[in-house]
Structure 1
């Protein structure tokens, strides 16, 4: 089925990031950047299933309204680093436990600084990685963890992990614990 084909990449990336690396739990607060995309939507479902409190960003008013319509209370603009100060205000200065990041440059640094003690930063973007961007180590004084996720590379270097993650994701969807991703079909002529 078409929707089964939509599952692997987005859901596997989100599951591996949040469960295997960040060890998400109901005690956590998680910031999901670009939350209306495929990985973002999968991450929202996974974070909800774990019982975590969700903070989300999107790049347009329409997309932010979509997130609010999904019942997400904490929604911010991903095109401005003001999200960091707004989240600090909304968390009474605490910040978040997990950042699932896809934003480059200053937004990446703002997300890293937003992590609370023992926080986990999951980098999904490639621009800063392949651009060899510097992030500085000062933020890590708070016992932070930084992970970069590349599912394609993981498939080549550790296919058993990817197989396990995919099996888990398909099982979670079959059991109804995670939703089947929405798909949009386009004609080839379009």
Structure 2
């Protein structure tokens, strides 16, 4: 099969198509003929050599896909062979075939293209597990999401709107702020021209937000805490601004703030299967009935994976970049 499996770290130019063996599904896995694969920031970090795959995961890039089940491994339901699915995988999606744990395979919702389906798993699993489970947001809450026009940001806006949240986002340009508002954000702050801490205080009449979904870390953490309401939750899911932060712990204690974070890729298949089941029961009907759609920025053929990563590196995209494979 053709796959994107660079031999050395580097820029987008290292992403060249190569020939690799078709994988065999292990116990509880399906072999999927891949139709499309979503591109995510962790793929870029892996390409640069800073995010090695978990033990046992393929070295081939790619954490989400859509396609058709063509073979069932031991203990996987053989009746699903032939079903079109989207799946969260620990690696291997940038290829013509990929294996996926059965519990992480969800049916492609009626009405969605395979390109749209491939853009769902990573963002849906991440946003649901971190905002709705970890941060425990509920209808009527106000949240702050950094990177409002990223794949994660656009999904947080869309899910938040569906579940009765007021979503405030930060973006790096007026054009991106305008697009975030079109997608459904209640407020969009240009962090290059405005102090987002002061803007959040203004928007919330000084009350602050119930939760912050943080992809920056570094110096943003202390500023994010100033945005939280009493009892607020701060969830870090990426460290694009640095791995270390200096904060004043007194407000954390006196205002009962919660600081936490997570990574998804190395979590157990049982944990991910639980999220998949929750999404199937809580979110899938919104996809089927047309109330939820992933925002697609651009698509590229698998052979142009380097161009796809160059677009992500440029930071001009809104929503998901997707590789078309079949």
- With normalisation by structure 2, the TM-score equals 0.52
> Does 2:251 correspond to 1:147?
no
The answer to whether the Cα contact below 8 Å between 1:81 and 1:106 also exists between their aligned partners in 2 is: no
> Does 2:147 correspond to 1:34?
yes
**Which of 171, 175, 189 is equivalent to 1:58?**
171
> Does 2:311 correspond to 1:185?
no
The answer to whether the Cα contact below 8 Å between 2:146 and 2:216 also exists between their aligned partners in 1 is: yes
Q: Shift in Å at residue 94 of structure 1?
A: 0.7
| DSSP-derived class of the 1:153 partner | coil
Residue in 1 aligned with 2:219? Answer: 106
Give the number of equivalent residue pairs.
186
The answer to whether the Cα contact below 8 Å between 2:158 and 2:183 also exists between their aligned partners in 1 is: no
Q: Shift in Å at residue 71 of structure 1?
A: 4.0
Return the alpha-carbon distance in structure 1 between the equivalents of residues 199 and 245 of structure 2.
Answer: 25
Q: Which runs of 5+ in 2 are unaligned?
A: 1-113, 308-326
Residue in 2 aligned with 1:120? Answer: 233
Structure 1 pair 170/37, CA: closer, same or farther in 2 (3 Å)?
farther
> Does 2:281 correspond to 1:159?
no
Question: Relative CO higher for 1 or 2, CA cutoff 8 Å, sep ≥ 6?
Answer: 1
Q: Which runs of 5+ in 1 are unaligned?
A: none
TM alignment of 1:65-76, pairs within 5 A: 65-76=178-189
Return the alpha-carbon distance in structure 2 between the equivalents of residues 167 and 79 of structure 1.
Answer: 39
Q: Shift in Å at residue 163 of structure 1?
A: 1.1
User: Bigger shift: 173-182 or 98-107?
Assistant: 173-182
Q: Shift in Å at residue 32 of structure 1?
A: 1.1
| DSSP-derived class of the 1:152 partner | coil
Structure 1 pair 80/136, CA: closer, same or farther in 2 (3 Å)?
farther
Return the alpha-carbon distance in structure 2 between the equivalents of residues 24 and 105 of structure 1.
Answer: 24
Give deviations 1:40-83, integer Å, cap 9, x for gaps. 11111221122111111111121111012234331102346701
> Does 2:191 correspond to 1:78?
yes
Structure 1 pair 40/150, CA: closer, same or farther in 2 (3 Å)?
same
Structure 1 pair 60/128, CA: closer, same or farther in 2 (3 Å)?
closer
- With normalisation by structure 1, the TM-score equals 0.86
Residue in 2 aligned with 1:4? Answer: 117
C-alpha RMSD of the superposition: 2.2
Structure with max Cα Rg: 2
Q: Shift in Å at residue 117 of structure 1?
A: 0.7
Structure that is richer in helix per residue: 1
Give deviations 1:71-129, integer Å, cap 9, x for gaps. 43311023467011011012111111111111233322111111111101111122567
Residue in 1 aligned with 2:245? Answer: 133
